[in-house]
Structure 1
Amino acid sequence: MAVFVLDRSGQPVMPCSEKRARLLLQSKRARVHRVMPFTIRLIDRSQADCLLQPLRLKLDPGSRATGLALVRDIETIEPAMGEVTRGAAVVSLLELEHRGRQISEALTARRQMRRRRRNQLRYRAPRFLNRGNKQKGWLAPSLQHRVDTTAAWVARIQRWAPVTALSSELVRFDMQQLQNTEIEGAEYSQGTLAGYEVREYLLEKWKRTCAYCDAQNTPLQIEHIEPRARGGSHRISNLCLACQPCNQKKAARTLQDFLKKDPKRLARILAQAQRPLRDAAAVNVTRWALANALKTTGFPLELASGGRTKFNRCTLDVPKTHALDAACVGQVEAITGWQQPAFYTLTIKAMGRGSYQRTRLDAYGFPRGYLMRAKSVHGFQTGDRVKAVVPQGKKVGTHVGRVAIRKTGSFNITTPAGVVQGISHKHCRIVQRNDGYGYFFHRADLTQDANR
């Protein structure tokens, strides 16, 4: 990925390649401003001395992860036709992993603790209507977290790169129409879903695998669990995904007859068919809240549908990842730069900054064990990025990663190769203080996904 560059006063200028950043650091024309994402600051130049090009930040919001792509807008004019072709050159790819599930579980644990205190230690009459009225637009903490972290990273990237415009995907899964395709008239006045939403919903619900043989990376077809020939409907609870051999083999047979020799799979498919996709509901709730948060930045905002994103991805033959999906958002007719062998995606995982809880809880909400009172040990905190140089012993070598502290001074370091345990604090050096996120790089799989 490109290296973010700041001028001598801290204003963003055009990102540069890793090679150019290395040369600037070696010639002492720049200094390291931040390690993750890697950012340098020039010593001898200001923003007025640099040539700026229009950069656009694109977002692909999701329930578990949000893709971000920083691209450079390119417009070319065809000499023969005189038409303007809008393209995008990828500068950086990022994936932001949310922690909504952890927040929901933490709130559940707190609720169990309060209930135990009220009922076990001393009786207190339950209080009702003691919560203030929720304001309009209120979101649950696990959902508000998705909006806040996405908006926070948009603001961060704007501080590190000269962003001039934003593009975001505005996905809508119409749950009522998905559940009952026959509803119409006065019962339903919000329009009809495009066909792509049904397929995207099923792909996410069935994990892009065949329901009958667990086949992956193969073309999947929409299959009626209860065949249409036997009175089955088009309701989403009667649909699944199947590969072509399984679809032809099942034909018009009932599911019970087709899987009579595999009762476990039969029970799993029936349960999965009735289970709604929670991720779709989370995206529905937060989509306008995120769009309104992006509008407050003051930059031109382009809102595009998920159908256009998928059309661009399939037309331009781009693999399906969260970050590359973001690059395909909006009006774009060509995407370049992502095919380079050394092009990696930076995954940003929301880890939190610890908690005020002094004990762990068991399955029943009772305290189990005790945690340290101090968050710092020998100047280190859990989540700091450190570099440990161990001269001898079983852990000899250089280890760089996220540290987990202990009161004894023997730390664990999470590196790309795994967790290294029992590293003394004497061998550790701070590289970057904890900012609530974990960082690691990964290379996108360039093999084409047949279920895009």
Structure 2
Amino acid sequence: MSEGANREVHPVVFVLDRHGHPLDPCHPARARRLLAAGRAVVHRHTPFVIRLKDRSVADSTVAGVQVGIDPGSRHTGLAVFTGHDGSRAGRYAIRLDHRGALIRDRLTSRAACRRGRWSRNLRYRSPRFLNRTKPQGWLAPSLRHRVETTMSWVARLTRWAPVTAVHVEKVSFDTHALSAGRPLEGVDYQRGTLAGYEVREYLLAKWGRTCAYCGASGVPLNLDHIHSRSRGGSERVSNLTLACIGCNQTKNATPVQEFLNDKPALLAKILKQAKAPLHDAAAVNTTRWALWQALEATGLPVAGASGGRTKWNRSRTGAPKSHTLDALHVGELESVTAWPSTVLVVTATGRGTYARTVPDRYGFPRLARPRSKLHHGFQTGDLVRANVPAGKKAGVHTGRVAVRTTGSFNITTRHGTVQGIGHRHVRMLQRADGYGYATHSETRHRAAFPPPSEGGGLHAGGNR
């Protein structure tokens, strides 16, 4: 890999023309010069978008950008990049944190309350058995949320940047390549080396990137046969696990029951997990076609690839493991010349609740919420900046606000929550849109996920 391939660059600034149509993004320094010269105004705070006052699309040459998507159960990575002839340069990175688990838990709680009402001696209500039929392609709310939030951000990116194509990871691993190595729909790359990457990606996801026997993480991991081949073990994926080099050499061809004779709990856990399904992978596989169809409905060219190819691409470019870098490496590519130094973390927070009362542990109303969400011109979730001139909380505080009718607000910043800020010191930056925003450095993320040469990779050892 060339020296420029590991170069981290500043995230770009999105640019709109005077009519609100997207232009090619620009460097932050150029955006500052445009704002200082009065040629542009701030259109949006986060992500930062400027609007030119003296230029339109007709007066400009627009090269366009592409978007890569790495869908996941808890997080989805989105990368905006430019490139040609198989080379890509990352320009902007977004990690979208879903709230599907919270939706699932709340629906489970609501179902429990509903079943409780059925068992009580209440007034008679005729049975409603005919309303349980669901149309074909129906998705549970927790799954539909993942598709809708991802599509919402794809739509936003197309409004802020001239997107010409979308690359999406359709599956985490290719089940056809796992089972028989057969080509799928004429794609012959799944044979040979790449088929092995499909198996490894599956095992890394299933076993949590740790050694099954000692729990070591961040070290090179080998493929290990739970029941060794020399004793009749098969090559099926359900017979494969991950083992560090020490455990792999110590176990060798020893039967797993004998190797873990003094650890019956660990033995039972390994045998059970070997046949257990992947819940997060199941959620992604359930929503992949709904996301694919929604992307095709946008009218943009959409290309799909598997997680095995993404991992193969990262191994060739030497990039570390992260959701946004996976999105940058989706599909066919030859090299990656740069990626953003910081990642915008977007958390789905919702837009509040319809409930106007807060119940206690027994279900009785404990207090009432105000009927209006707007107080002193602000509502909970707005992005604000407070400039407090004096006192214990003196300083500038920027973050999401939680409002009170008294006018004493709480502001959640990247350093924590500051309580009791008077509304007179607060200035609006951006209205609440159902998401919370934060940034983190890609460099710190790389320290948590070292490249394969530093440990943490998956090797093909243990083929006994």
User: Shared topology, TM-score over 0.5?
Assistant: yes
Residue 39 of structure 1 is matched in structure 2 by 49
Cα distance, 1:169 vs structure 2: 1.7
1:139 aligns with 2:136: no
Cα 1:407–1:211 change in 2 (3 A) is farther
- Taking the aligned partners of 1:318 and 1:384, their CA distance within structure 2 comes to 36
1:129 aligns with 2:135: no
Residue 366 of structure 1 is matched in structure 2 by 363
TM-score, normalized by length of structure 1?
0.86
- Aligned letter for 2:36? Q
Residue 434 of structure 1 is matched in structure 2 by 432
- Taking the aligned partners of 1:136 and 1:146, their CA distance within structure 2 comes to 18
Out of 382-391 and 158-167, give the one that drifted further: 382-391
Alignment of 1:106-255 (within 5 A): 106-120=106-120, 122-124=122-124, 127-131=127-131, 133-171=133-171, 173=173, 194-229=195-230, 232-255=233-256
Q: 1:8 aligns with which of 18, 35, 51?
A: 18
Cα distance, 1:126 vs structure 2: 7.1
Residue 63 of structure 2 is matched in structure 1 by 53
Do 1:60 and 1:326's aligned partners in 2 also have CA atoms closer than 8 Å? yes
1:182-207 Cα distance to aligned partner (Å, 9 max, x none):
9x9xxxxxx99944333222212222
TM-score, normalized by length of structure 2?
0.84
Do 1:173 and 1:284's aligned partners in 2 also have CA atoms closer than 8 Å? no
Alignment of 1:307-386 (within 5 A): 307-338=308-339, 343-359=341-357, 366-367=363-364, 369-370=366-367, 372-374=369-371, 375-386=373-384
Q: 1:451 aligns with which of 450, 453, 457?
A: 457
Cα 1:115–1:251 change in 2 (3 A) is same
- Taking the aligned partners of 1:367 and 1:254, their CA distance within structure 2 comes to 58
Cα distance, 1:29 vs structure 2: 0.8
Cα distance, 1:132 vs structure 2: 5.5
Residue 3 of structure 2 is matched in structure 1 by none
Cα 1:406–1:248 change in 2 (3 A) is farther
- Taking the aligned partners of 2:22 and 2:308, their CA distance within structure 1 comes to 34
Cα 1:370–1:271 change in 2 (3 A) is farther
- Taking the aligned partners of 1:403 and 1:326, their CA distance within structure 2 comes to 31
Out of 403-412 and 306-315, give the one that drifted further: 403-412
- Aligned letter for 2:202? Y
Residue 292 of structure 1 is matched in structure 2 by 293
Residue 187 of structure 2 is matched in structure 1 by none
Q: What's the % identity of the aligned pairs?
A: 52
Higher relative contact order (CA 8 A, sep 6+): 2
1:61-92 Cα distance to aligned partner (Å, 9 max, x none):
222221111111223xxxxxxxxxx2112111
- Taking the aligned partners of 1:115 and 1:30, their CA distance within structure 2 comes to 58
- Taking the aligned partners of 2:232 and 2:123, their CA distance within structure 1 comes to 56
SS at match of 1:170: strand
- Aligned letter for 2:344? L
Cα 1:368–1:223 change in 2 (3 A) is farther
Cα 1:8–1:241 change in 2 (3 A) is same
- Taking the aligned partners of 1:306 and 1:204, their CA distance within structure 2 comes to 11
- Aligned letter for 1:7? D
- Taking the aligned partners of 2:23 and 2:345, their CA distance within structure 1 comes to 23
1:395-416 Cα distance to aligned partner (Å, 9 max, x none):
2221111122344433332211
Report how many residues are paired: 429
Do 2:12 and 2:92's aligned partners in 1 also have CA atoms closer than 8 Å? yes
- Aligned letter for 1:314? S
1:22 aligns with 2:32: yes
Q: Structure 2: give runs of 5+ residues left out of the alignment.
A: 1-10, 183-189, 459-464
